């Protein structure tokens, strides 16, 4: 083999090695670019779902500044900052230490701008206090309604506290609400407690409803739980319903109970018919 031939083959070999190295380098660069793109996409997706760590810090600082400027004299402190991916906002919870009702939320956008706060509703207008009282009375009433002493506990039975803005025809005035005020839950229940009982019954009649009302009234009396009114629905095996609403506890007692039940049932049916027509006609 001549020297020229050997030199030619060596040159060809190194040319191929160079092409391979160049190609390999290109693939490595492309792979790195693809990896960065995927990582960026995942981080973008995570930020959209979990929030941006930088914005957490910015909104935390903004919230602390806002509290100091607007509620500094009231003792509010920032408790936490979270992100709501559904609405795309950061929620900063502010509260007073050792207070059950003095807490509210500041809402910030993804750009760090303040969208507003709910101090007016939660604290000033008493929504937090209202929720506290509703839970306290609900637990109080349900301790009897959901107990084994109630023969109808397998049905739908619960108690709740009603305020007059709910439109039940009775209820407590919102003017009584004040942050962290102590209340007599039994007294509130006597003025705004509503019991709801929905059960299966062989008979769905005013007479059967009267029997159930007397039993529930006696049960709540023995349990020491006052209430103002009751909603009752009976369903028989033929899936026929008999319903009365906001039937006053005071009307359970005394002669003429069946007649009062029948009158309430007529009014309830008329109201249901009116609501149906307004919605579908």
HSE-CB at 4 with a 13 A cutoff on CA atoms is 0
Give this prediction's pTM.
0.78
Q: Is 81 exposed, middle or buried (0-12, 13-18, 19+ CB in 10 A)?
A: buried
Question: For 7-62, how does the pLDDT look when each residue is reduced to its tens digit (9 = 90+)?
Answer: 465 556 445 545 444 555 655 544 555 454 444 443 344 444 444 788 888 999 99
Q: Where are the alpha helices (DSSP H) in the chain?
A: 3-50, 53-71, 119, 127-145, 185-192, 206-223, 257-280
Give the count of beta carbons closer than 10 Å to the beta carbon of residue 231: 18
| pLDDT attached to residue 154 | 84
DSSP structural state of residue 75: T
Asked if 208 and 266 touch (Cβ cutoff 8 Å), the reply is no
Range scoring the smallest mean pLDDT among 6-15, 66-75, 185-194, 271-280: 6-15
Question: For 48-79, how does the pLDDT look when each residue is reduced to its tens digit (9 = 90+)?
Answer: 444 478 888 899 999 999 999 999 889 999 99
State how far the Cα of 163 lies from the Cα of 101, in Å rounded to an integer: 18
């Amino acid at each position: 083999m001549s020297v020229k031939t050997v030199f030619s083959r060596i040159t060809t070999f190194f040319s191929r090695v160079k092409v391979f190295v160049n190609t390999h380098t290109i693939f490595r660069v492309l792979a790195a670019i693809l990896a960065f793109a995927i990582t960026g996409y995942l981080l973008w997706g995570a930020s959209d779902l979990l929030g941006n760590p930088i914005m957490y810090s910015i909104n935390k600082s903004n919230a602390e500044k806002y509290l100091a400027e607007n509620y500094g004299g009231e003792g509010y402190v920032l408790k936490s900052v979270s992100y709501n991916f559904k609405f795309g906002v950061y929620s900063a919870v502010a509260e007073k230490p050792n207070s059950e009702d003095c807490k509210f939320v500041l809402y910030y956008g993804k750009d760090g701008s303040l969208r507003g706060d709910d101090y007016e509703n939660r604290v000033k207008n008493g929504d937090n206090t209202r929720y506290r009282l509703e839970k306290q009375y609900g637990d109080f009433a349900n301790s009897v309604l959901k107990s084994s002493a109630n023969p109808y506990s397998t049905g739908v039975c619960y108690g709740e506290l009603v305020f007059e803005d709910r439109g039940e025809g009775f209820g407590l005035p919102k003017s009584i609400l004040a942050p962290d005020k102590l209340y007599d839950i039994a007294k509130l229940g006597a003025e705004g407690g509503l019991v709801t009982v929905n059960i299966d019954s062989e008979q769905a009649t005013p007479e059967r409803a009267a029997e159930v009302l007397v039993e529930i009234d006696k049960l709540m009396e023995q349990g020491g739980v006052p209430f103002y009114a009751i909603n009752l629905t009976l369903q028989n095996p033929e899936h026929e319903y008999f319903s009365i609403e906001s039937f006053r506890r005071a009307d359970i007692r005394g002669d003429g109970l069946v007649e009062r039940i029948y009158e309430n049932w007529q009014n309830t049916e008329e109201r249901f018919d009116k609501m149906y027509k307004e919605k579908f006609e």
